[in-house]
């Protein structure tokens, strides 16, 4: 889709009584998206509008549950105890933690 087509489609989607300022803001937003926004603090992948439309179309299509299950790899385990995170110190009770949490949230102990 050409830049002109993108802008025309955008303008056609706006209400009839939209102001020039609002149109300009929408156009500036589309330009920013098409050019790719700065990648701040993360390695983000900027996708095109056509990619988003394709992904939207894929999302709304039905899928086969059995096929999706075959595509996924599931973590299996033998014992539920192996999933127990052992990060809470035994010498600290849950009551101490709840009191701390309440103090941090409300400034008072209960």
Q: How far apart are CA 84 and CA 81, in angstroms?
A: 5
In this model, does residue 103 exceed pLDDT 80? yes
pLDDT at 64: 74
Each domain of the chain, given as residue ranges in start order, spans 3-106
Whole-angstrom Cα distance, residue 109 to residue 103? 5
77 or 12, which is more confident: 12
Please, which pLDDT band fits residue 98 given cuts at 50, 70 and 90?
A: confident
Contact 3, 34 (CB under 8 A): yes
The predicted pLDDT at position 41 comes to 40
> What would the pLDDT profile of 17-62 be if each residue is shown by its tens digit?
889 888 888 888 887 777 665 544 445 566 677 788 887 777 777 7
Please, what's the b/e burial string for 38-62 (b: 16 or more CB within 10 A of its CB; e: otherwise)?
Answer: eeeeeeeeeeeeeeeeeeeeeeeee
Residue 65, CA atoms < 13 Å, CB-side half-sphere: 0
């Amino acid at each position: 889709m050409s830049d002109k087509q993108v802008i025309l489609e955008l303008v056609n989607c706006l209400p009839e009584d939209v102001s020039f300022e609002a149109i300009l803001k929408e156009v500036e937003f589309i330009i920013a998206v098409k050019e790719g926004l700065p990648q701040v603090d993360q390695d983000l992948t900027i996708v095109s509008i056509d990619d988003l439309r394709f992904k939207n179309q894929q999302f709304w299509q039905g899928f086969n549950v059995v096929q999706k299950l075959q595509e996924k790899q599931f973590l299996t385990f033998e014992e539920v105890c192996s999933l127990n995170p052992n990060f809470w110190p035994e010498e600290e009770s849950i009551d101490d933690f709840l009191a701390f949490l309440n103090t941090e949230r409300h400034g008072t102990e209960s």
